[in-house]
Amino acid sequence: MADAADNKRDDGSPPRPDPPGYFEGESMTRRKAFTVAAQALGGVAGAAVVLPAVGFALAPVLDEEETIWQPIGAAGDFDPESYKPAIITIVQDIGETGKTTAYVRRGNPEFDEAPDEFIAVSNRCAHAGCPVRFVEAAGNFICPCHGGVYDFQGKVIGGPPVRPLDRFQTRVQNGQVEVGPRYSVTSQLDPVRARDPGEFTGGIWEYIYPPRPSVPPPP
Amino acid sequence: MRFPQALIPTPLRRPPAPGEKAPGDGGGPIDRAKDAPADMVGWVDERTGATGFVTGMLFRKVPKGTNWFYTLGSATLFAFVIQAITGVFLAMYYTPSPTEAYDSVTHLTNDVFLGEFVRGMHKWGATVMIILIFLHMSRTFFFGAYKYPRELNWVIGVVLLILTLVMGLTGYLLPFDQRSYWATVVANNITATGPVVGPYLADFLRAGPEVGATTVQRFYAIHMLLVPGLIIALIGAHLYLVVKLGTTAPPWLRGETKPKSLRTEEV
């Protein structure tokens, strides 16, 4: 007989009989055990469907980016005083959509850059990702969308952008300048891992806007 | 039972009640044909009990002072139905791929018979739907119809508004012209500026670090499968609550206090 209090009825009629399968000292009724077991099984079955689906949708976040080096011209084509635009492909096999522009120049001793290095500045505005254009006459990069202005080095001198223009890694192979993966810079032009536009870089912002796990480290 | 018996499989036929004529007995064939629609409804109703639900929904009591402003919700629903129908037909010609999307949209607009019209309905209908939602929302707000016990319906309505805006955002990319491409780039980058989770959310939307091969498919799937499903489910809940709780009288009508409805309690 279970605890008398469990089986007592409010209306004072005789106590309920013990449920089938009751034994002395049980901690859980048979009905309760089956309810818990059925719900646990249902949970496992649900998770078996939902988790793969979520992983399937999230997988691209963790995809390793392929490092592609693209030749953009002979080393002698570039000079330290002005930029030359180069069309590069950042996503393969999707035609025009996968292309972007890098503005490339030779290192300028005026900015503490070695004359044999090459600076490739991305045309992706650091505000909302619109394409900026290098305006020769002003020596500035100007964004058509919201009026962001960057100086010759790509530092912000006006408008809403939150950090200087991104850059691409460069190297010289067999006399050809090659452009590699993208990286972002802090306001002091220190390289950091690539971030999306609109995200601050440097200091605490490195934690508030974590980089994509698969992004290659900066040079 | 005057429903054309030939159409009902034998096991489903209702046996005649005691005293009732056997099927096919009474009236000429013309009489029976006249009764066919009513019998057909009766046949369904007998098995589903649907008429109670339908009459309860369509013939419910409305308060005095109900006016044209109360039609804005139905108008929004109608706009959604138009979006759903035109969307289904647009999907028959659309190719969600970065290299073919633009061409398929130009093809369906310029070459397909009435394509420009159907696409125009979908494009302008989207704007109309957003406008109607805000008018409907204003009506609810200014008439005080969001108050107890209808707060949950307001919450559901706000979720529906957000989902409709998501539809606008994801649908904007699909023509894949310069405007939609750059609008989506900017929208994704705004998403990415959310602290901590922003960058991952943007990666999820774009399916990678850049607008790439599967971004259009992803937006297309969200636009035509995920969000419409949620919207339909929530519209169902929204309407259920409207029917269950009834509508409110406009605020300029004073409540009538019938003496009968007052009672005194002795303490």
On the 0-12 / 13-18 / 19+ scale of CB atoms within 10 A, A63 is: middle
Report yes or no on B255 lying in a domain: no
Is residue B183 over pLDDT 90? yes
First to last CA, chain B: 61
Nearest residue on chain B to A96, judged by CA atoms? B99
Q: Which of A66, A97, A183, A215 is the best residue to mutate to test the B interface, defined by the most B CB atoms within 10 Å of its own CB?
A: A97
How much of chain B exceeds pLDDT 70, in percent?
Answer: 86
Q: Which ipTM was obtained for this model?
A: 0.81
**Contact, A86 vs A104, CB < 8 A?**
yes
B26 lies in the same domain as B149: no
Q: Of the given ranges (A25-29, B12-16, B173-177), which has the lowest mean pLDDT? A: B12-16
Same domain, yes or no, for B73 and B43?
no
Q: What is the mean pLDDT of residues B207-228?
A: 91
Of A61, A130, A145, the CB nearest to B203: A61
Question: Nearest CA to A105 among A125, A69, A75?
Answer: A75
B209 and B161 within one domain: yes
Question: Which of B234, B69, B249, B61 has its CA nearest to residue B153?
Answer: B234
User: What is the pLDDT at residue B1?
Assistant: 42
Look up the pTM and report it.
0.82
Instruction: State chain B's mean pLDDT as an integer.
Output: 88
B130 and B223 share a domain? yes
Number of independent structural domains in chain B = 2
- Provide the pLDDT for residue B111: 95
Assign B161 a pLDDT band (cuts: 50, 70, 90). Answer: very high
Number of CB pairs, chain A paired with chain B, less than 8 A apart = 83
CATH number reported for the structural domain that contains residue B201 in this entry: 1.20.810.10
* Tens digit of each residue's pLDDT (9 = 90 or more) over B16-74: 677 766 555 556 777 777 778 888 888 888 899 888 888 888 888 888 889 999 999 99
Cβ contact (<8 Å) for A129 and B189? yes
pLDDT, tens digit, 9 for 90 and up, residues B118-135: 999 999 999 999 999 999
Q: Which residue has the tokens 């408008």?
A: A159
* Reported confidence tier of residue B4, pLDDT bands at 50, 70, 90: low
Claim to verify: residue B110 and residue B194 sit in the same structural domain: yes
> Residue B13 falls within a domain, yes or no?
yes
Interface test with B, best of A56, A68, A91, A162 (most B CBs within 10 A): A91
Q: Is residue B104 part of a domain?
A: yes
Question: Residue B146 has what pLDDT?
Answer: 95
Instruction: Please tell me which residue of chain B has the smallest CA distance to A195.
Output: B199
Is there a domain that residue B208 lies in? Answer: yes
| pLDDT over threshold 80, residue B2 | no
Structural domain contains residue B147: yes
Q: How far apart are CA A134 and CA A150, in angstroms?
A: 9
Q: Is some CB atom of chain A closer than 8 A to the CB atom of B220?
A: no
Q: Are residues B38 and B124 in the same domain?
A: no
> For residue B203, what is the nearest residue in chain A, using CA coordinates?
A61
In a domain, B168, yes or no: yes
pLDDT of residue B35: 76
Q: Does A55 touch chain B (CB under 8 A)?
A: no
B193 vs A contacts (CB less than 8 Å):
196, 198-199, 209
Alpha helix positions (H), A9-75: 30-62
């002795």: which residue's tokens?
B266
Residues B207 and B158 in one domain: yes
| C-alpha separations of A33 from A2, A27, A30, B167 in Å | 17, 10, 5, 45
| Statement to judge: residues B107 and B147 lie in one domain | yes
B82 shares a domain with B45: no
pLDDT above 70: residue B262: no
Instruction: Provide the residue range defining the domain that includes B22.
Output: 5-50
Residue A198 and residue B193: Cβ atoms within 8 Å?
yes
Q: What is the largest CA-CA distance in chain A?
A: 103
User: Which stretches in chain A have pLDDT values below 50?
Assistant: 1
B114 and B218: one domain?
Answer: yes
User: Any idea which architecture A70-208 has in CATH?
Assistant: 3-layer Sandwich (2.102)
SS3 content of chain A, % helix, strand, coil (to 5): 25, 25, 50
Residue A107: what pLDDT?
Answer: 92
Judge if B108 and B152 occupy the same domain.
Answer: yes
